Amino acid sequence: MRQMVCGCSLFAVGDTNSMGTLKNTKQRFGVTLIELLIVVLILAALAAIAVPRISQSAYQAKLKACETNIKMFNSMLEQYYSDNGKYPSDMDVLFKDTNYFPDGKPICPITEKEYKKDLTSDKRYDASKHNSEH
């Protein structure tokens, strides 16, 4: 029989014997090894689910940033044509012009290398060549 206080059993109080004295007065501190292992296993399972999703999301974000950069290059080519009446000979002309790229030549967020300077025959930045490097 456990002693009750306010309808709740006391965690630290042991059972009483037939004479009403305490049999076991040891208090329980800490957690058992099994409890600790269960917590570790639950955390490992959650990490196994979360980590791949986070890394996949990070790659997708970098891929979108790269695609946006390429769209921006083609827009800058059109802007250059509008300003000068002709297309540049290659992308380095634009990359070096601070009016178009004030922060300098862009770096691909995936490969962490500079974008190639070559243009297609129709004066566009060829995304297929760059995307094959990913």
Whether the predicted pLDDT of 83 surpasses 60:
yes
Residue 118: which domain range? 69-134
Same domain membership, residue 127 and residue 91 = yes
Tokens 């930045």 belong to 125
For residue 36, what are its two tokens? 């600790």
**Closest to 115 (Cα-Cα) out of 92, 81, 82, 89:** 92
Mean of the per-residue pLDDT values for the chain? 81
What integer pLDDT is reported at residue 129 of this predicted model? 67
pLDDT digits (tens, 9 = 90+) for 5-27: 455 444 444 555 566 555 556 67
Same domain membership, residue 73 and residue 37 = no
What integer pLDDT is reported at residue 120 of this predicted model? 82
Same domain membership, residue 82 and residue 32 = no
Higher-pLDDT residue of 55, 82: 82
Q: What percent of the chain shows pLDDT beyond 90?
A: 39
